Amino acid sequence: MSAYSGAGANAERCTVMASISLYNPDRQAVRMTQPGEIAPGLHFLGSPAILVYLIEGRQRALVDAGMSLMGPMLRRALDPFGGFGALDWHLLTHSHYDHIGCTPLICRERPGIRVGAHPRVGEIVNRPGAIELIRKLNASVAGGRLPEDPDIVEFDGFEVTDPLDDGATIDLDGVTVEAVWAPGHTRDSIAFYLPDQRAIIPGEAGGVPDFQGRIMPEFLQDIDAYVASLEKMAALEVEWVCLPHNYVLGGDAARHYFADSIEATHHFRGLIEQALDRANGDVDKAIAELAEALYQPGGQPRDAFMINLAAMTRVVARSAT
């Protein structure tokens, strides 16, 4: 087991990001980076940093809610569609802070809205420890304290009115949405599939690509379950992958996205195993090495990045024992 130091270490670190799978360059990729209509009845709201989706039949569903700081932007984005009051459903891919931050605002502004998510979400988001962590992570994006604004609401939990089973169907009176359980990123991850639009909203259950096309895996809970979820989504007919961050992906790259994400996951597992090997099994040392190689300032907040990286490294370390 070799030491990891000196100029050779820098060169090796530089290869880490290059080792993560890229889209096949021969595949045509459409990247939608600005809000707008993706397909009939499906709209990208929010920003490239955190994407939020509106599904529109004769009823409307908002998928995910971004961070607490996004409340004013979310209000502006919904105004052309009738505002918060025109929403019938609020669907959640999972319980992480950057997907549920504005959910208390939405529930306040639209009393009686139906909130659909994995059954575990309703348990998690009302635990005192989870509320404290979600508040901390939302505040960290704002420099430690949320600004004073009536549309920036400190997270305080919410009720999941409609726990969704795997395969559950939400009828929006003109648009059908299917709930696809997709554990591995979290235990409570759900992807939302629109068969008529051939579109899927997977949250981080599908990984997150950067603007160079590298797919960063997100197996925070269980890598085998994560790969099984990717295989499940790869079996669906997809023309649009509505990603949680950076852009909406269409074209040939979308059709092959989940297969590419499986490949990226196997690559990334290997990188973590190599880091653990160099660290003689010391998980904390491996995490520090990987963080130095992978963290990109200006991207994901460092606190959240480190939580995710540590979780994935520990998942791989556990799977090796």
The pLDDT profile of the chain, 321 residues, written as one tens digit per residue, is 222 233 334 434 444 444 444 445 556 788 999 999 999 999 999 889 999 999 999 999 999 999 999 999 999 999 999 999 999 999 999 999 999 999 999 999 999 999 999 999 999 999 999 999 999 999 988 888 888 999 999 999 999 999 999 999 999 999 999 999 999 999 999 999 999 999 999 999 999 998 878 899 999 999 999 999 999 999 999 999 999 999 999 999 999 999 999 999 999 999 999 999 999 999 999 999 999 988 888 777 788 889 999 999 999 999 877
Distance CA 222, CA 220 (A): 6
| Domain with 304 in it | 6-319
Residue 39 lies in a domain: yes
Backbone angles phi, psi at 319, to 5 degrees: -70, -20
CATH number (domain holding residue 247): 3.60.15.10
Backbone angles phi, psi at 102, to 5 degrees: -95, 5
- The secondary element (H helix, E strand) that includes residue 229 is helix 223-234
Residue 195 lies in a domain: yes
Residue 85 lies in a domain: yes
Residue 200 lies in a domain: yes
The closest alpha carbon to 234, from 213, 263, 212, belongs to: 263
Q: In what order do the strands lie in the sheet with 89-91?
A: 36-39, 42-46, 51-56, 60-63, 89-91, 114-117, 162-163
| Residues shown for the chain | 321
The closest alpha carbon to 254, from 307, 173, 199, belongs to: 199
Domain count, the chain: 1
Reported pTM: 0.90
The closest alpha carbon to 229, from 240, 217, 215, belongs to: 217
Residue 1 lies in a domain: no
